[in-house]
Amino acid sequence: MSKLKSTGPQTADAPTPEDALHEAKSLNEAGKKDGPMLAADGTPLKRSLARALRVQKMRALMLIAPLLVFVLVTFIAPIVDMLFRSVENQIVSNTLPRATAAVETWDADAEEAPGEAVFRALYSDMFIASEAKEHTRLGTRLNYEQTGLSSMFRSTGRAVDDFGEAQIDALEDLNDVWEDEAFWYALMTGGEGATGNSDLLEAQRARLAQLTGDSFRGDIGFVPGAEISELLPQTARAYATFALFTAIADEDVVAEEEPWEAVKVGLIEDLKGGADLSGYDGPGAEELRAAQEMLQDQPAIVYKDAFIAADEGWGSNTTWRTIQTYSPEFTSGYFLNAIDMQKGVDGAKARPENQQIYIMLFQRTLFMSLVICASCILLGYPVAYLLSNLPVRSANLLMILVLLPFWTSLLVRTSAWKVMLQQQGVINDVMVWLGLVDDANRLVMINNQFGTIVAMTHILLPFMILPMYSVMSTIPPAYVRAARSLGATQWTAFWRVYFPQSVPGIGAGSILVFILAIGYYITPEIVGGTTGTFISNRIAYHISSSLNWGLAAALGTILLAAVLILYWAYDKIVGIDNVKLG
């Protein structure tokens, strides 16, 4: 590690182009009056040297390129991608693009849930989302922020097909053609040779691609007619979406499928909204006029009531506040959750006390990792000292003993500690037998902090001993002997001469052990009980059980930042050059 900062061992003795560059610079400054110093070919020396240096650097880069690419692709990129999830929040605006836009202007402090316009937008979003089966995903996402939204989205997705049922029935009772797929197809294309409105189609294509993550590219055998899409904009938009979905996701023929309820609802809205049909003479003109006349007597569709009937939650202000708060594409919400706060309409505020846990867990993780690190130093130092001072043959034997647990499964070692430490376990049995402990008051040594510290110290000990050993075995015994011969006591010789030379080993071991400890989760999960678990246990829970990957990523990012800060602090205080692995 010490080599990280220098450019390589050759700098000390062998001259490099870089050295020459510095020299040229100083010479240059000295000889400014005489103009720039020139190389043999007449170019300024500085430039010529810089070129030589560049070539050398390129060559070095080429040499490490395969490894660099490998690390970037398989290690850095996935981590960055995972960490990026801690702010990512596109799902809300991708699933409900119109509703989130409409609710933007709603005043969250107003007494009522938003008005009919927002619910109208919500209907068209919800219908498409439920066809594409994306609404439950959004429900799961928002349920992390507000309990109950998961089932609200699920039940609304089931109900949304029936919105406007009475009006649709009236339309179909009036004339069978409204159930006829071929009629609809002719109406929406505008008949043979009509000018098409491909902009509308592309817009819907992009919308579906955003919603589902599939590209929705390809020919669908349908282009909405320009005239009809101007006359009946909502119908045309809904039909275009329907056509794309039918042709690409369902792989059916558009002209052979009856349109969605949402298309008919769009038509009802357009006709009731006063579409001017007087100048229209394309396909279905008669039927449209008849339908418009009939619909004048029909009551309007009240989306708000329909949504509230599907689930009461839609009528509540808190639901809409949550949607509004989480409608931006990026959110600080996960990070706030990760530090026991929550994002509200008017900024961040602390979570209720009975839900605060993460800060405490971060502190506990740091504290316990330090304790584990310290106990590894205390236990490992004498062993490493012994190893490095024994004759090779016995040192090797001892080394195998150190490495042996290293080769045993982590789970086996942890479970073994369970057998040792539990109340009916080996240690308690021995102590009871010796009369040190009363049978009724056996010691509790597992499923708590103590258990975690013991088991993890044992597991991480080799990581401390090995770097210490490799540093200690390079310390020449002559120094201590010299100190002793000059009159130092055993302790002084050790403390003033030997110990300072072994510090780089402690440093390397400590960094290894501490960083490994901070991210451990299997051992604390098994022996930690409730007081000995780490933040990593919560991260694992959110990754594999609650599926709140955003929160897991935020917790992970904070943990990573904490490690980097500690590493920086270590560098400032001890100096990273002072770390040796051998």
Partner 1 sequence: MKLTTTFLATTALTVAAGTAMAEDMADSMTLVSWGGAYQKSQVRAYAEPYKEMHPELEVVWDESSNEAVAKLRAMDEAGNITWDVVDVVAADALRLCDEGLAMEIDPDEVLAEAPDGTSAEDDFGDLLVGDCFIPQIVYSTTFGYRTDMVPEGAEAPNDICDVFDLETYPGKRALEKRPINNMEWALLCDGVAKDEVYDVLATPEGQQQALDKLDTIKDDVIWWSAGADTPQLLADGEVFMGSTYNGRLFSVIEEQDQPVAMMWDAQVFDLDGWIIPAGLPEDRLARAMDFIYFATDTQRLADQAKYISYGPARKSSAPLVGKHADLGIEMAPHMPTDPENAKNTFLYNYEFWADYRDDIDAKFQAWLAQ
Instruction: Enumerate binding residues for partner 1 (CB under 8 A).
Output: 131, 133-134, 136-137, 139-140, 143-144, 147-151, 154, 246, 249-252, 257, 354-357, 360-361, 422-425, 447, 525, 529-531, 533, 538, 543-548
Dihedral of CA 514/515/518/522: which sign?
Answer: negative
Separation in Å, CA 268 to CA 87, 183, 196, 282, 284 = 40, 16, 23, 18, 15
**Which residues make Cβ contacts (< 8 Å) with residue 382, sequence separation at least 6?**
none
**In angstroms, what is the minimal distance from the CB of 177 to partner 1?**
22
Name the residue nearer to partner 1 (CB basis): 154 or 272.
154
Separation CA 378–CA 514 (nearest Å): 14
Name the residue nearer to partner 1 (CB basis): 229 or 241.
241
Separation CA 25–CA 23 (nearest Å): 5
Q: Where are the alpha helices (DSSP H) in 296-357?
A: 303-310, 317-325, 333-338
Type of residue numbered 120: R
Two tokens at 500?
Answer: 């300072």
Q: Are 388 and 466 in contact (CB under 8 A)?
A: no
**In angstroms, what is the minimal distance from the CB of 223 to partner 1?**
22
Separation in Å, CA 272 to CA 160, 289, 299, 306, 517 = 20, 11, 10, 18, 67
**In angstroms, what is the minimal distance from the CB of 160 to partner 1?**
12
Two tokens at 22?
Answer: 């510095």
Name the residue nearer to partner 1 (CB basis): 284 or 556.
556
Name the residue nearer to partner 1 (CB basis): 250 or 293.
250
**In angstroms, what is the minimal distance from the CB of 554 to partner 1?**
14
Dihedral of CA 112/115/121/123: which sign?
Answer: positive
Q: Are 498 and 489 in contact (CB under 8 A)?
A: no
Name the residue nearer to partner 1 (CB basis): 252 or 571.
252
Name the residue nearer to partner 1 (CB basis): 272 or 418.
418
Helices vs strands, H then E, count in the chain: 29, 2
**In angstroms, what is the minimal distance from the CB of 401 to partner 1?**
29
Q: Which contacts (CB < 8 Å, 24+ apart) does range 161-164 have?
A: 161/127, 161/130, 161/261, 162/261, 163/123, 163/261, 163/265, 163/301, 163/303, 163/306, 164/261, 164/264, 164/265, 164/268, 164/301, 164/306
**In angstroms, what is the minimal distance from the CB of 522 to partner 1?**
11
Type of residue numbered 10: Q
Name the residue nearer to partner 1 (CB basis): 428 or 502.
428
Name the residue nearer to partner 1 (CB basis): 448 or 578.
448
Q: Are 326 and 142 in contact (CB under 8 A)?
A: yes
**In angstroms, what is the minimal distance from the CB of 547 to partner 1?**
6
**In angstroms, what is the minimal distance from the CB of 318 to partner 1?**
13
Name the residue nearer to partner 1 (CB basis): 134 or 269.
134
Two tokens at 7?
Answer: 């450019």
Name the residue nearer to partner 1 (CB basis): 78 or 273.
78
**In angstroms, what is the minimal distance from the CB of 122 to partner 1?**
19
**In angstroms, what is the minimal distance from the CB of 546 to partner 1?**
6
Separation CA 290–CA 296 (nearest Å): 10
Name the residue nearer to partner 1 (CB basis): 60 or 360.
360
What is the DSSP annotation of 239-285? HHHHHHIIIIIS---GGGSPPPHHHHHHHHHHHHTT---TT--STTH
- DSSP H or E stretch at residue 350: strand 347-350
Q: Which of these, 528, 526, 517, 506, lies nearest to 563 by C-alpha position?
A: 517
**In angstroms, what is the minimal distance from the CB of 450 to partner 1?**
15
Name the residue nearer to partner 1 (CB basis): 204 or 533.
533
Dihedral of CA 456/459/464/467: which sign?
Answer: negative
Please tell me what DSSP assigns to residue 498: I
Name the residue nearer to partner 1 (CB basis): 156 or 470.
156
**In angstroms, what is the minimal distance from the CB of 323 to partner 1?**
16
**In angstroms, what is the minimal distance from the CB of 103 to partner 1?**
22
**In angstroms, what is the minimal distance from the CB of 44 to partner 1?**
54
Name the residue nearer to partner 1 (CB basis): 278 or 530.
530
The values of phi and psi at residue 221, to 5°, are: 70, 25
Separation CA 102–CA 115 (nearest Å): 10
